[in-house]
Structure 1
Amino acid sequence: MFPLTCIDGYKVPVREEVYVLDIIPLTSGPATISSNQKLSAFNPTNLRGGPIIDLVTHHGNITCARGFDLANSVVCTAGEDGSVSMWDLRQDAPNAEVARLTDDQVPILSLACSSTGFSVVAGTELQNHQASILIWDVRSTPKPKLHYKEVHSDDVTELNFHPSDPNILLSGSTDGLVNICDTRITDEDEVVIQTFNLDSSIHHAAFLNDTEVFALSHDERLALYDMAEGCEKGSATTDFGDMRTVLGCQYIANVFAKANGAGAVIGAGAHDQEAFEMIHLTKGEGWNLDKANSVVLPGAHSSEIVRSFCFYDEARMVFSAGEDGYIKAWRPNA
C-alpha cells in the first residue's frame, strides 16, 4: 500500500450540512458541484483559498455534472427541474451560463457530454411509467434532437460516450441493464445494439477501452463485459461479485479508466474505518485487482462517505470530495 499525504483542503463554509457531490477534472484544476446548489472551480495549488469561481445553479436541486470541454473549462450541470445548463468557467459569473437546454420537467439523474459530437445527453427519472434519454445538438435549438423513451424501464442512472466514437452511447439504469446505443439510429426498436444485464440496479457504468465496459451496482457488485465479436453476447467476461467482500470495503465510489489505456482505478471506501483507497484494475491475459499496490488516503473524509475522486497523473495529485463538505488534495510524500 502507498499512503498519500493530504496537502490542502477546503470546506464549504455554511452552517447546514453540505455534501460535495462530484468532481469534474478540468485541465485547469478541479471543479465541484455541491448540495448547496453550487458549481465551483478551484486553483489546484491553493484549495484553501476557496473557489476561484462560485456559481449558483438553478435546477431546483442539482443532481449531476459533466465536463463538456475539459481543456476549455466548459461544464454541464443538471437537476430536478429537468434542465441542463452549460457553463463557460472562463467567463465572469453573470455571463458564465452560456446555454440552457430544456424539454419537460422530469428530473435528470445522469449526463454525458461529447464536444467532438456536439452532443449533450441526459437520462431521467422514471415518471409516468417512462424513463427518457434526451440528446441535444448544442449547435441547434435548446430542444432535444432525439428522445428515446423505451431504452430503459426505470431510472437512467448513468450515461457515457464511447472513448473514440461519439455516436456510441452507453446507458445504465436501475432496471439492471447496461445498453449500448448507436445514436445515429432514430428508431427505438433498433437503437440498442448490445445489452448487458447485471441483474442489479446500476450505479455506475462506462467504457474501459474501445470494446470493454464495466458495470457497478448500487449493492457494490462489479462485472466487466466485452462488445467485441466472438464474445458471448450479454455475458460478463469477469464477474468480481460483491466488492465489499472482495476488498473488505463498505462502498465503491466509482471506477475510472486510465487515460493511457493501462487499466482502471477503483475507489473503495470504509467510512467506519475512515479509510479510502484506490485499487488498480490491471489488464493482462484477463482483468485482475492489484491490491498489494493500492494507493491509500489516510483519514480520508473522516467517517463520511467519499463521493468522488480524480487523479492528475502528471502533477502526481489526487483530489477527493465527500459528504463532510470538503474537497481535499493529496500527493505522495516523495
Structure 2
Amino acid sequence: MHELLSSAQSCRFLATSGIAFEMTEVEKIEEQLARLRIAKRSTLSAEPAYLLDIDVATAAQSEGSRFVAVSCSDKSMRVYDRETLNFLREYSSRPGMLNGVRFAHACDSMVFSACSDGTVKCWDIRLATQKAAQIFSGYPSNVFISFDINRSDLIICAGTEEVEKDTFLVFWDARGVTDCAGTTKEPLGVYSESHNDDITKICFHPMEPSLVVSGSTDGLVNVFDINKDNEDDALLSTCNSDSSVSFIGWSGKDYKQIYCTTHDEGFCWWDIAQLDTEEPIMLSHVLDVRDTVCVGDDTLQYLVGGWYHEKADKLFLVGGTSAGKVHLISCGTHGLSLVGTLCGGHSATVRSFCWNLADESLLTGGEDAQLLLWKPGAVERSLAKKASMKMASSVQKRVRVHNSSLKSGKK
C-alpha cells in the first residue's frame, strides 16, 4: 500500500463567504495533489539508467497525450506509451550526452533533444530507425546542455557550456522538420553577451512565441524578445538569483512571472509585468527552501523544479529525499508550504517530473531507473517497487562546484 502524507487533507473555510469562495479552487487543487497515488510504473530496461528529463506529447488534444519521452544518463532517449508506460522505442546519442527532451507542439511524433556533441537532434518516433530525422548543428566547440522549442515550433534555442570564457544561446529555424527532410541545419545566429557561465536552462513562453527565458550558473535569469534586431534590444530583463540556476519557468496569469530554483536549493520568483512600474518585481527570494518548508518528522533534501497550475493560478515546487519521497510545495508571496508527500514509489533520488494538466497527473523519474505515473486516488496493479540502483551517476561527473562569488550584470 502506498502511503501519502499530506498537510492539505481537509479544506478550511474562513467565516467571510467571499474569501471562502476565493480559496475553494486552490484548496480543491491542493487536495487533489495530496491524493496522488501510483497508477503505473515502467519496467526496468536491460540497461538501467537515471531518468533525467521527461516530456509528454500534447499535440493530439482530442485523443489525449499518447507518448512520453525520457532522456537518460546512459546517453539514450526512451519513448513510452503515456497510459500504460509500456516501452516503445529507444534512441542513442553515443558518444554524446543528451540534455533535455521536448516534443513538438503541433506534432506528437517529433521529439527533440540537445546533445553534448554540439547538435540538437529530432527523431520521428513513427519510423523504425536510429537515424535522426533532422540535425541542427552548432558552431565548433559548442557543448549543448539545455534547449527548448518555441510554442509555434518555428525556433529552437540551445544553451552551451562555458568554453574558453564563451557561452552562447544558439538559434535555429525549425520549419520543415515535420517533413523529415533528414538534412542538417545551420544556426540563424547567437546571443553571446548576456551570460558568462554555463547556460543550464532555457524555457520559451507558453503563449508568446518570441519570448524566452534563460538561466545560468552565473546566477542570472534573462528574458529575451527574439523578435528584436540584436541581443541588446532583445534583452528585456536581467534578474539575479545570487546562485547557480538549476530550473526556470513561467507562471502567473498570462505567464507574466518567472521563477527559478538553484543548485543550492534556493528559490526566486519575479513579476516582470512590473518592469515599467515603481513596484518591486521580486515576489519571493528563499535562500534555502530546506530551512523554510516544514515537512514534519521528514526531511527535504533537494528541489527538482516547479510548475504553474493554470486552473488554480498557483505555482508549485517539487522536491524530495534521497530515499525517493516526493514533496509537493505550494508557493505564495507570504511563503512556501507543504501540500503533500508521495511515498512508496521511488527508492532513490528523483531527478525529473512532468505535470499533465489534462488529467491532473504527475510523471516522475529517478535514480532508481523507474518512471512512475501518479493520479488522484489511483490504485497500482503492478509489481512492488524496485530496489535502488547501485551505479555511479554519469551526470554527477559533470556537475561543477560553484562558489558564492557570482558575477552580476552582463559581461
- Map 1:58-73 → 2, pairs under 5 A: 58=94, 60-69=96-105, 72-73=108-109
Secondary structure (helix, strand or coil) at the match of 1:21 reads strand
Extract unaligned runs of 5+ from structure 1.
none
Aligned partner (choices 128, 134, 140) of residue 93 of structure 1? 128
Given the alignment, which residue of 252, 256, 265 partners 1:211? 256
Greater C-alpha Rg: 2
C-alpha displacement of 1:262: 1.9
Matches within 5 A, 1:244-255: 244-247=290-293, 248-255=299-306
- Is the Cα–Cα contact under 8 Å of residues 59 and 78 in structure 1 kept in the other structure? no
Which aligned pairs between 1:49-198 and structure 2 lie closer than 5 A? 50-58=86-94, 60-69=96-105, 72-89=108-125, 91-94=126-129, 97-104=132-139, 105-116=141-152, 118-139=154-175, 142-198=185-241
SS in 1 for 2:292: helix
Following superposition, the deviation at residue 3 of structure 1 comes to 4.9
Q: What is the SS of the residue equivalent to 1:92?
A: coil
Report what 1:271 is aligned to: 322
Distance 2:239 2:95 in 1: 32
Question: Following TM superposition, by how much is the alpha carbon of 1:110 offset from its aligned partner in structure 2, in angstroms?
Answer: 0.6
1:289 — aligned with what?
A: 336
Determine which structure has the larger strand proportion and give its number: 1
Partner of 1:220: 265
- Please say if residues 194 and 234 of structure 1, whose CA atoms lie closer than 8 Å, have aligned partners that are also in contact: no
CA displacement at 1:154 relative to structure 2: 0.4
> TM-score with structure 2 length normalisation?
0.72
Aligned partner of 1:305 in structure 2 is: 349
Instruction: Return the TM-score normalized by structure 1.
Output: 0.88
Return the match for 1:329 from 373, 378, 382.
373
Alignment-derived partner of residue 389 in structure 2 = none
Q: Deviations over 1:261-320 (max 9, x none)?
A: 621221110124x411222335xxx465352xx243213421x21111123344343211
Any gaps of 5 or more consecutive residues in structure 2? 1-5, 7-33, 58-64, 177-183, 294-298, 379-411
Offset, 1:95: 7.4
Length, aligned pairs only: 323
Distance in 2 between residues matched to 1:232 and 1:98, nearest whole Å: 49
The alignment status of 1:46 with 2:87, answered yes or no, reads no
- State the partner residue of 2:397: none
C-alpha spacing 1:259/1:30, structure 2 compared with 1 (3 Å) = farther
**What is the match of residue 362 of structure 2?**
318
Q: Aligned partners of 2:153 and 2:272: how far apart in 1?
A: 21
C-alpha distance 232-23 of structure 1, shift in aligned 2 (>3 A): farther
Q: Given that residues 23 and 310 in structure 1 are in contact (C-alpha distance below 8 angstroms), is that contact kept between their aligned partners in structure 2?
A: yes
